[in-house]
Amino acid sequence: MVAACGTRDRLVTRRWIPIMFALLSAIAFAMSVQGGRWWSIDDAEIGPFGGRQCFDHQCRPTNLAWLGEHERWMRTGMATWAAGLIALTVLVVVAGAVAAKRTPRLAAKMALVSIVTAAIVGGLFYFQFPSAQFPSAEPGRGILLYVAALVLGVAATIPVLRASRS
């Protein structure tokens, strides 16, 4: 009887780790693309979907056009935002299916593809930032949250894909 409980505890632990990683990754994606600033320039914040400018203690949301950068970089920012939200959605589906004692292989594969896509467009958005035009720009928490979301998302999907087909 003790061996059965020990085996059950290991199975429960093995199931909850991917759930935890998937949900933490989803939260990090949400915080990164929705509320995380990727760069700060004085009183302005820049993220993938837009920015926020503060003058005389009055803040207003703006799009990325005020930076005067080319359209491709702004579209890459929108793609980064969308890829983060899509990965968030698929990771929540994976976590829900694993919590329901299923082995969601297709959802895990979809999550992995969405994470790779998010990594590609997020990398383009980061590396195409006009740092020469804005040398005072400081990296913000959004970049770190995005990278953490990518790593946690991969860590959540690998155990699901490696699970036995029972």
> Does 3 score more than 70 pLDDT?
no
Residues facing 53 on adjacent strands: 44, 60
Token code pair at residue 69: 């950068």
Average pLDDT over residues 33-51: 79
Map residue 138 onto helix, strand or coil: strand
| Stated pTM of the model | 0.84
Residue 58 placed within a domain: no
Domain range enclosing 121:
2-36+71-132+141-162
- Cα–Cα distance between 142 and 108 in angstroms, integer? 24
Q: Judging by beta carbons within 10 Å of its beta carbon (0-12, 13-18, 19+), is residue 104 exposed, middle or buried?
A: buried
Q: Judging by beta carbons within 10 Å of its beta carbon (0-12, 13-18, 19+), is residue 74 exposed, middle or buried?
A: middle
Residue 54 placed within a domain: no
pLDDT in tens, 119-153: 999 999 888 877 777 777 788 888 999 999 999 99
Residue 62 placed within a domain: no
Query: How many domains is the chain built from?
Result: 1
